[in-house]
Structure 1
Amino acid sequence: MDAPMEIKVPLNETKVMVPPPPKPTLDLSKLPEQERIRIQHQRMHEKHKGHEAMHAEMILILIATLFVAQILLVQWKQRHFKSYQMATMFGMWVIPVYFCLTMHWTRFLIIWALFSFFTSIIVYKATRKPLPGTTPRLVYRWFYTIYKISYGLGIIGYTIIMFTFLGLNLILMIKPEIAMDYGMVFLFYGLYYGVLGRDFAEICSESMASKIGYYTKTGLPGRALEPYICAVCGLTMRIPDEDEEGSERIYQLSCDHRFHEFCIRGWCIVGKKQTCPYCKEKVDLKRMFKNPWERPHMLFGQLLDWIRYLVAWQPIIFLLVQGSYYILGLE
């Protein structure tokens, strides 16, 4: 009887698959803040490793969208200014409210509701036919008050931010993040309501001027201007005595036409008109407002025009960019 054959398997040919031990989970909450930020930053780089081409494509889409949108907005503004103005004002009025609703910022919503309520009353009065003689003065007083408040808030916010950058907040024992938050809030309120009030004031200026009859967009005035009649509000101007206090001052332009103080301020500064309401002669704002403390108001008005694009159109442009990313499958 033959003995059983033994088959020897070389040890070097035997492969045993042993699974690697599981990596221990790292609890980031127990690490110091700097170490936690470093690990999160490292994980983000590992996640997006090899995505350089996709990132370059996303940047090109963003730049192209911004460039095309800017051209379209400029052409729209030049060809159809009225519709552009209304669309911009609607965006300025609604878009920040949407973000505040999602963020539950009740303070802004309350102030926005109060501003919208009183401004809607003013706009309603300015668009009535026939237009009462006291309405233009009421409208210009309201918007000029809003303009001065927004200007003051903007200056306060900017001052707080600059003092924080210089470290002066430490003298008052205020943390930099708290001081910067207050500065940004004041600056935002000043710029936002300054732009919004300016747009409403311009619409009211056009509507009231066309109804009063002294001003027309083209051609000669609708009727002759009597002496000591304000061509903006249509009311009689009374020359105040030198010792009289509380009376409204009267401004006379280079064309010799005279206006109430609040009427011409509202027309030139708030309503963004730089021509005489009656004869359309160019108004020299520096000559009309000789006080140097009043001149920054005109510069501030130009700043408000630059902010309008950032608030009204920038969110829409970024929404279009995100939509393009989603359609192309970019993350």
Structure 2
Amino acid sequence: MPLPDRRLDLGFLTFVPDHGGPGGPAAALRDGLRLVQHAEGLGYDSAWVRVRHHEPFLSSPMTFFAAASQVTDRIHLGTGVIPMRYEDPVRLAEDAATVDLLSGGRLELGLSNGIPPLAASLDVIHGASPRGFAGEAQHRLEVLRAAIAGQPLARAAAQYMDVPAGGELVVTPHAAGLSDRLWYGAGSERTAVRAGEQGFDLQVSTLNTEETGEAFDVVQARQIRSYRKAFAGAGHEGRRRARASIGRIVLPFLDARDEQVHHDFVEGYRAGMTDDGRPTGDSPFPVRYSPILSGDPDSIVERLLADAALPETDGLVIVLPAEGDVTAHERVLTIVAERVAPHLGWTAA
């Protein structure tokens, strides 16, 4: 399938995993920073992190990015994604603005509602809401957007420090431009359309939460087209251009050692689903997973060029396994930059 005549942005996504190795969680975080620096050296455009609460992965992306902003100069730093149902939107706005200012305007804030099946467990920690799961998440999302945009959130009932009674309360610091770098992680055409109507940029990754019987990439291509139509229909194109990115698990092998390093992950991933990405076990909602693109670089290039969603996007995000050490992940990023991405319309930044 021909690709558009445009430069493709290249990013990667990491869980910043803590596998309990020597050095513990501190070493895992330092490895995450090392990976971001390595990618910047290769010319990657963006580094994205998964956000996972109550699991051995990164749970505090803004503090991590505050550190990353001080050891990098150019690469953009993004979340993929922050589940807003369990976030304090005002505190997140303050942290995000601080990181954006420290980084020189490099924050890409990826957001989502979250995962509904987890609500019963996490409501015990974060509190239930009369708005329901999606309603509460969308409410917090709107508060976050208003806060980041510098809109008044309330008026002071009495003198509050330097704010007089009746004065407007806004989030500080204000990071000009951050409100134009908000992404939404959609898993269905419905949520992609809503993201377009709301004026977000769009992330689609390795999970579709709708089942149409069609191939994974075909469904995502339609999601992106519907998103762009909704974005334009809502009048946002007069303000800025819509952006969309796709995530793919890419594991290029140059030798038997590369294949062996990722063998357990590849086999475990494939064992949990059918050949077309349907889970083999029970799932609480309709779901389809993307395949792993592994093997020699030329075959991966061929498969990506045949991916129906890639021509619809502005960026490709290489999704690294949750497993594996930093050396193995650095090698994946290196081979992709040298042997795969240049054939897809990417040039090193």
TM-score, scaled relative to structure 2:
0.23
Of the two, which has the highest radius of gyration?
1
Greater RCO, CA 8 A, separation 6+: 2
**Which of the two has greater strand per residue?**
2
TM-score, scaled relative to structure 1:
0.24
